[in-house]
Chain A
Amino acid sequence: MTPTSTKGMQSPWASRGPRLLEKRLGVGLAESRLIEPDTLWVRVPRALLRGAVETAVREMGARFLISVGTDQRSLGDGYGIVHLFSLDRDALFLAVECLVPEHQGGVDSITPIVPGADWSERECRDVIGVEPQGHPDPRRLLLPDDWPDGVYPLRRDFDYNERPAAVEGSRPPLKDHPRGSTVIPMGPFFPSLEEPSYWRIFVEGETVVGCDYRGFYNHRGIEKLGDSVLTWDRIPHLAERICGICGMIHSTCYCQAAEKAAGIRPPRRAEFIRTLILELERVHSHLLWLGIAGHIIGFDTLLMQSWRIREPVMWLTEEICGNRKTYGMNAVGGVRRDITPGQVPKIRDVVTGVEREILAVKRAVVGDATLLARTQDVGILSRKWAQEVCVVGPPARASGVPIDARLDHPYAAYDEVPPTLCTQGAGDTWARVLVRVDEALDSVRIIRECLDRMPEGPILTEMTGDFPDGRVGISVVEAPRGEAVHFVMTGGVNRPYRWRVRAPTFPNLQAMPAMIQGQNLADVPITLGSLDPCFSCTERMETVDVRSGQVTVHRRAELEAIVRRHRP
């Protein structure tokens, strides 16, 4: 079910969009229907895909979200390529679908029109095997260097636990560095990036003249598990583990997409609880980021103080959910734990304290000349490039792009407790700092309002009957680092036929090369850090130590005793 929009009734594009497309393309659309009040689905012939996307982007103001490649051979449709767009001002999603019959080549690449579709299309090629024709950089994106060519892991005839033998010679070529420049490698393991990512920075002296990226070292095959192993009601717990920081974001986003597809709506109280937890997550994530950003430029006092301020939020979520992180709060149809009356004053106390301390930090950093010297005019992301690469979240807002999924596609309780849109114009690292600090303060306000307005009632709508077939649900959730997108297509046996996840770092990271061009090497880590990159959620992988199999739980006192064993 669609959350009620604050933007009035149906978007004019819902009816005008298909007519405009038909006019521009000169043919009737194979299919065009409003599958949800907020989702317009059009199917276009392969030859007209690029024209349709061009019309959507240039005339309807559509913002590219992600491409979904689906193996629909078992439905008799070949491979489905769906480009998802958001019409932000109209609270409307637009899905442009194109079917590619088996053994009949690829589809026209839309990257020449939408630069932000670069990685999406390469990912579709890697996992489904539909070649984006005319793509400017068709190198392998996410499969490992030793993965055999022609094996596509997300096809339905590829088992989730199949392990193809490693081969030589399928490693994607590295980009040549300009003559006279030196290559400075950053990664795959680099101290200021806590996760693996391999940047080759081309420098002349200390000036960056280009770069190359190879990532996805952490790919976990989470989407594959979702459509081949788990059932619809288990996936929220897997979705939560996509990211160690914004787990609630992904579980909420999946649940909302699944709820739309299943046609159920969570009770109002559950929507408020989701909003509350999401905002607590935003507060701690922004503080975490502020600390890391400080650390990257050597300002460890900011790191230590931000994380000290963040700590009570972690204790609070532990009290509410039983865990500092990975809350396990969400279920399709609502939430699994209620907020008890006794917890309400505690939440108020904690957020009031956090608010006071964030304000103190803000006062301290805003006047700091050295901090300004390291962040102002550093890593500038122009508004134009931000829109072309489809950057989301604080980096977009810091470049003056007024998008926020909480306002554009109001979900959970955000229609009743809307956030304030925090934007800046400069597009530099300092602007991104300011946006995040302001948002953390705004989150405190939202948390208070949630507590004020939260209605009584049940917290879970149970699904009656099976997960329905042939439905689609698209959901977006504004994570601290940008908008997450989940796409659920039903039709599996009690599980999604296709579950597509887009973490916010996926588009944001693609803006990086332009941001560091011409900069000093010293500014590269903070520029990358200012995007708040989350490589693992972009890659959706998880490592489990299975050697010992033994699980030891250390209590806090024990841990302290271990760490401080030489202390009284």
Chain B
Amino acid sequence: MSALPGILGLTLLNVAVALLLSPLVEGVLRKLKAFIHSRQGPPLTQPYLDLLKLLGKEDLRTSSDPFYRAAPALSLASVLLLAAMVPMGASPPMGFAGDIVVLIYVAAMSAVILILVAYGSGSPYAFVGGSREMMVLLAVEPVVAVTLVVGAMKSGSLATGEILAWNHANGPSMSMVLAGIALLLALQAQAGKLPFDIPEADQEIMGGPLVEQSGPRLALLRWTLWAKQLVFAFLLVELFVPWPRTGWLGVDLLLALVKVMVVLVLVALVDVVNPRLRVEQAMGYYLRVAFASLAALAFAVIGM
């Protein structure tokens, strides 16, 4: 896998999965939600059509600042970069020593860009949405960091690929299972799902950071969110549930995809049976999850 063409190919594969498959996954989740609502729901291809429609619309901006103009594209690019650092059926294509430190930063990038977009758009709803996004980010990031550190401690390496390989070779352990559960709980907020879709909160602040976004900008920001939930789900299942593994890329990717769908369906089910929390309630919740993930770290220290 160390040969350059192999790395390039894998990178392309990961980016393609994140980019092209994520609207379909979103479509499946919408169907599921509709089923629980006793609705027919939109066709599976609706997210693709939404993107096409939005991309074809006029580009309206409330600010001419160059960063503000580029922000939606940067946001999607940051998630695609993350996709290249996450294992999808194989070792992560952009894996190197110590990459989980970079991964934690890259993972937070799209949220930070969204906050900047919110503050740049000049709407009071976006301001409130931006500050909520920041609070949710501050609450969730520690959980993500601690769970990845648990993996690093167990495997003795800061490389994502090494953690995967170690976990696959050594089988489930107490600390890794706990860390996986904590990461699953964090996924709920990172995917922007209820009860944690607080920054967007349509009925309270009209989409928060997105309120002034339309057309192609909205398309890219939506696409970011869909790709993000898929990539995060891959990170979760590949690091913490890596079994079974055949060694054949296609089969492993399919297996991972099945696991990803199970995880995302769980997340969607929680989404559909919950109302939205207030931001301080969400922070309290993630504070407790963070403490629980520290327990996983403690288990890792004593070798469980």
Interfacial residues, chain A to chain B (CB-CB below 8 A): 182-185, 190-192, 206, 294-302, 304-305, 308, 368, 370-371, 373-374, 520-525, 564, 566
A523 engages B278 (CB within 8 Å): yes
Chain A residue numbers with a CB within 8 Å of B40 are 564
Distance to closest chain B CB from A308 (angstroms): 5
Query: B206 contacts the other chain (Cβ, under 8 Å)?
Result: yes
Pick the most buried of B128, B275, B276: most chain A CB atoms within 10 A of its CB: B275
Chain A residue numbers with a CB within 8 Å of B36 are 301
B38 engages A305 (CB within 8 Å): yes
Stretch at the interface among B80-88, B197-205, B223-231, B252-260: B197-205
Sorted from nearest, which 9 A-B pairs have the closest CB atoms? Answer: A298-B276, A304-B37, A192-B203, A299-B275, A297-B275, A522-B278, A370-B274, A296-B203, A308-B38
The one of B43, B202, B276 in contact with A191, judged by C-beta atoms closer than 8 angstroms, is B202
A206 CA to B278 CA, complexed, in Å: 11
B124 engages A305 (CB within 8 Å): no
A206 engages B206 (CB within 8 Å): no
A458 CA to B292 CA, complexed, in Å: 72
A298 engages B279 (CB within 8 Å): no
**Residue tally, chain B, CB below 8 Å to A:** 31
Chain B residue numbers with a CB within 8 Å of A368 are 273-275
Q: A301-B272, A305-B38 are in contact. Are A185 and B203 (CB under 8 A)?
A: no
A228 CA to B221 CA, complexed, in Å: 56
Distance to closest chain A CB from B82 (angstroms): 27
The one of A302, A522, A566 in contact with B201, judged by C-beta atoms closer than 8 angstroms, is A522
Distance to closest chain B CB from A209 (angstroms): 15
Query: B130 contacts the other chain (Cβ, under 8 Å)?
Result: no
B39 engages A206 (CB within 8 Å): no
A298 engages B275 (CB within 8 Å): yes
Interfacial residues, chain B to chain A (CB-CB below 8 A): 33, 36-40, 43, 124-125, 128, 131, 194-195, 197-198, 201-206, 272-281
A370 engages B277 (CB within 8 Å): yes
Chain A residue numbers with a CB within 8 Å of B274 are 298-299, 368, 370
B43 engages A566 (CB within 8 Å): yes
A184 engages B202 (CB within 8 Å): no
Distance to closest chain B CB from A251 (angstroms): 32
**Chain B interface SS verdict (over half):** loop
Chain A residue numbers with a CB within 8 Å of B204 are 192, 521-522, 524-525
Chain B residue numbers with a CB within 8 Å of A564 are 40
Chain B residue numbers with a CB within 8 Å of A373 are 277-278, 281
**Chain A interface SS verdict (over half):** helix
Taking A305-B37, A374-B277 as known contacts, 13 extra A-B pairs with beta carbons closer than 8 A to each other, sorted by chain A number, are A184-B124, A191-B202, A298-B203, A299-B194, A301-B36, A302-B275, A370-B195, A373-B281, A522-B201, A522-B276, A523-B278, A525-B204, A566-B43
Chain A residue numbers with a CB within 8 Å of B205 are 521
B124 engages A298 (CB within 8 Å): no
Q: Which residue of A lies closest to B127 (CB)?
A: A182
The one of B124, B272, B279 in contact with A182, judged by C-beta atoms closer than 8 angstroms, is B124
The one of A297, A521, A566 in contact with B203, judged by C-beta atoms closer than 8 angstroms, is A297
Chain B residue numbers with a CB within 8 Å of A525 are 203-204
Q: A182-B124, A184-B128 are in contact. Are A304 and B39 (CB under 8 A)?
A: yes
A368 CA to B195 CA, complexed, in Å: 12
- Pull 20 A–B residue pairs with CB atoms less than 8 Å apart, ordered by A: A182-B124, A183-B124, A184-B124, A184-B125, A191-B206, A192-B204, A206-B128, A295-B203, A298-B276, A300-B272, A301-B272, A305-B37, A305-B38, A368-B274, A370-B277, A373-B281, A520-B278, A520-B280, A522-B204, A525-B204
A184 CA to B126 CA, complexed, in Å: 11
Distance to closest chain B CB from A365 (angstroms): 10
Q: Which residue of B lies closest to A370 (CB)?
A: B274
Pick the most buried of A190, A374, A522: most chain B CB atoms within 10 A of its CB: A522
